[in-house]
Amino acid sequence: MVTPTPPAPRPFWAFWRRRPIVPVIRLAGLIGSLPLRGAGLSLTGLERAIDRAFAIGHAPAVALVINSPGGSAVQSALIAGRIRALAERNRRPVLAFVEDVAASGGYWLATAADEILVDPASILGSIGVISAGFGFGQAIERLGIERRVHTAGARKSFLDPFRPERAEDLALLAELQGDIHERFKEQVRTRRAGRLKVPEAELFDGRVWTGTRAVEVGLADGLGELRTTLEERFGPDVRVRLVNPPRPRLLSRMGLGALAAEAAAEGLAILEERALRARFGL
C-alpha cells in the first residue's frame, strides 16, 4: 500500500498574500419590473449591486451568472450598458456564466461580458422580437357586450384586443419590432465581433442553440462552470462574493390584504416566467 504524500506546507509569505475576490452579479428571472413583489431584472433594482461589484478593489474580474428567458428589451439594454460602462471605466474583464437559459433579453445580458461560458445543455439565442396576445372581439359579441372606446389620435387604440386586427396596426407593429430587432442585432454584432461563425440570417432568425452548439456558431466562447473556471484562472484560493443575494420577505409586517395581493402577483409572475421557459423546453 502506497502512503499518500502529504501536501507541501505553504510558505510563510503565502499567509499574508491577499486572496483574489471575484464579485458575482446574479441575473436570474424575467427582465423588467414586475408588480408588487419588486421582482424582475431592471436597472433600478440592480444598479447598486452592479456598482458594488465594480467597486471591489483588486478584483481580477467580475462574473455574471445568467439564467433568464428574456423580457424587456429596454431593461436588457440598460443593464448591459451599465455593466459595460463600468467595465471599461475600471478596465475590468467581465465573464458571463450561463446556467439553464440566456435567451432573447437574457442573451442580450450575456453580451455585456467579454467572454461567455456555458453548460453543454444551456439554451442560448432567440435573437428576435415577439409580440403575443389574444383577440376577444367575437367573445364579447356573443355575450352581448358593446365595446365603447373614444380616442384622440387615430392610432391610440393600436392593437385593441376587442376588435379585429387592422392592416395598418400590423404594419406599425412590424415597424416597431424591426427597430428593436435591429438594435438587438447591432448589440450582438458589436460585442461578438470576429467571433460569429455562421451567416447572420441564421443567427438572427430567433432560433435557439444548446451550449455546445452556441460555442460552435460563435454565440459563446466555451464550456465552463463558475467556481471551477475561477479557480483555474485565479487560483484555488479565489473567493467568490455574490453582491446581490436574495432578500427574505418580512411577512410579519404585511397585512392579510397585502399578503393576498403579493401572493396573486407572485403567482402571475411565476406563470409568466414558466411560460417563457417552456418555449425552450425548460
Q: Which residues contact 36 (CB under 8 A, 6 or more apart)?
A: 261, 262, 265, 266
Predicted confidence (pLDDT) at residue 69 exceeds the cutoff of 70: yes
End-to-end CA distance of the chain: 48
Predicted local distance difference test score (pLDDT) of residue 166: 76
Q: CA 128 to CA 101: how far, in whole Å? A: 15
Q: What is the pLDDT of residues 140-197, one digit of tens each?
A: 667 777 777 777 776 666 667 777 777 777 787 788 878 889 999 999 999 999 999 9
Predicted local distance difference test score (pLDDT) of residue 251: 46
Top pLDDT among 216 and 281 is at 216
24 has which bridge partners?
A: 63, 242
- Matching residue, cell 459563446: 220
Predicted local distance difference test score (pLDDT) of residue 274: 53
Q: Where in the chain is the domain with CATH 3.90.226.10?
A: 18-126+207-278
Q: CA 101 to CA 220: how far, in whole Å? A: 13
Predicted confidence (pLDDT) at residue 271 exceeds the cutoff of 60: no
Closest by Cα among 220, 245, 195, 241 to 60:
241
Predicted local distance difference test score (pLDDT) of residue 10: 52
Predicted confidence (pLDDT) at residue 272 exceeds the cutoff of 60: no
Predicted confidence (pLDDT) at residue 13 exceeds the cutoff of 70: no
Q: CA 21 to CA 25: how far, in whole Å? A: 13
Q: What average pLDDT score do residues 70-95 get?
A: 96
SS (H, E, C) the chain: CCCCCCCCCCCHHHHHCCCCEEEEEEEECCECCCCCCCCCECHHHHHHHHHHHHHCCCCCCEEEEEEECCECHHHHHHHHHHHHHHHHHHCCCEEEEEEEEEECHHHHHHCCCCEEEECCCCEEECCCCCCCCCCCHHHHHHCCCCCCCCCCCCCCCCCCCCCCCCHHHHHHHHHHHHHHHHHHHHHHHHHCCCCCCCCHHHHCCCCEEEHHHHHHHCCCCEECCHHHHHHHHHCCCCEEEECCCCCCCCHHHCCHHHHHHHHHHHHHHHHHHHHHHHCCCC
Domain 18-126+207-278, CATH class in plain words? alpha beta
